[in-house]
Amino acid sequence: MMRLIVQKYGGTSVGSPERIQEVAKRIKRWRDKGNQVVVVVSAMSGETNRLIDLINAIHPTGTAREKDVVLSTGEQVTIGLLSLALEKIDCPARSYTGSQANIRTDNAFSKARINSIDEGKMRADLEAGYILVVAGFQGVDNEGNITTLGRGGSDTTAVALAVALKADECQIYTDVDGVYTTDPRVVSTASHIPKMGLEEMLEMASQGSKVLQIRAVEFAYKYNMPIRVLSSFDEGDEGKSTLVTGEEKIMEEVLVRGVAFNRDEAQLTIEGVPDQPGVAYKILGAIAKANIEIDMIVQNVSSAGLTDFTFTVHRNDYDQAKKILCETGKSLGATSCRGDKKIAKISIVGGGMRSHAGVASKMFQALAKEGINIHMISTSEIKVSVVIDEKYLELAVRTLHEAFGLNTV
């Protein structure tokens, strides 16, 4: 039976006319095996930055609608060029802008969300034997305005198209050949993961793994769409890859799937607040009102009816969040208000955790043995995250990677 495959190629993969022609050859090989192929592409590497520079030279804080008009041209150039490259090697292809593909979004310019895709026309072109080349990262709102999905939105376009077209698989081509148990730049013995669960990938992505965009994984998780991560630098098509699927059974065999981390967060603490109903809302509500996202939150009840809060925000929001927190603290009569930017968050993720006790304590023990102090702890069904001093990051990742037997043999 004929399979329908959606493939996504990032900016580096289509970074020059030569690389675009390489991608075309790869697509042809998939088609020649009897697959229908829909391709989603990003702007050529460097192009989006060039456009941002032009915008910044004129009006960096201008209307997002007009910025999206400019930014969406990057992908539009790539779809035309790739279609020409495919035609050149006798693969009839048709390009689609986000608007032509009817990728309907809300009107949150620069960070729009996909509401629906009307796939009728694309389906007809597929049946007519065309390869479809769709611009990633962009869509159109109900008034016909061009919208963009935000950086990395091309992954999301690919998964959304795969869902709308009921594709058999969504292939994300990147500069690495799949997902590893941790970042190989930190732990050289990191192991390649051939197959894992979407829920695990969701935790890995939200805890710092940068292989897949978290929004794309959320979309795939919601609609149970299998994703395969492959390298566009592999010569053939039978190279290593990671298949991320919703099939739970396979996943539970493994206790800990990988170690994710990030250095993007900062920690804030307020101490000696009277422990009354509504105090958490007073403190965190003020931060949220400023559109600052809060990640981890820990509250301790201390003696004498006073309590402490510690939470993390993105490092870029640290200064603003601290100012708001200290003002709130003052009005509540807090004894102190302080923060720390030099922290790191490390998480162990694995579908198997939910049926095994003792994973968290094994993690704490391994870190303690190396003298690494833990500031905060947060757990979910399939992950345990800790916040530590940034300077211990590499040591902690290596330690946990070994403690859970993730090294390549």
* Site of interaction with a copy of itself (CB under 8 A): 17, 20-21, 51, 54-55, 57-59, 62-63, 65-70, 72-73, 76-77, 79-81, 83-85, 87-88, 93-95, 97, 99-100, 144-146
Instruction: Name, in order, each residue with C-beta under 8 angstroms of 122's C-beta and a sequence gap of 6 or more.
Output: 38, 96, 101, 132, 134, 165
Pairing mode, if any, of strands 35-41 and 114-117? unpaired
CB closer to a copy of itself out of 48 and 267: 48
Structure tokens that stand for 23 in this block: 């991608």
Question: What minimum distance in Å lies between the beta carbon of 215 and a copy of itself?
Answer: 24
**Under 8 Å CB-to-CB from 165, ≥6 apart: which residues?**
4, 6, 38, 119, 122, 123, 126
Residue 104 to residue 1: CA distance in whole angstroms: 31
Closest approach, Cβ 70 to a copy of itself, in A, equals 4
Separation between Cα atoms, residue 140 and residue 260, nearest integer Å:
35
Query: Which CB sits closer to a copy of itself, 55 or 286?
Result: 55
Q: Whose Cβ is closer to a copy of itself: residue 100's or residue 320's?
A: 100
Residues near 276 by Cβ (< 8 Å), separated by ≥ 6?
none
Determine contact, residues 115/106, Cβ cutoff 8 Å: yes
Chain-centroid distance of CA 241 in Å reads: 18
Q: Rank residues 81 and 204 by Cβ distance to a copy of itself and give the closer one.
A: 81
Residue (61 or 188) nearer to a copy of itself, CB: 61
Q: Which is nearer to a copy of itself, 51 or 297 (CB)?
A: 51
CB 136 within 8 A of CB 128: no
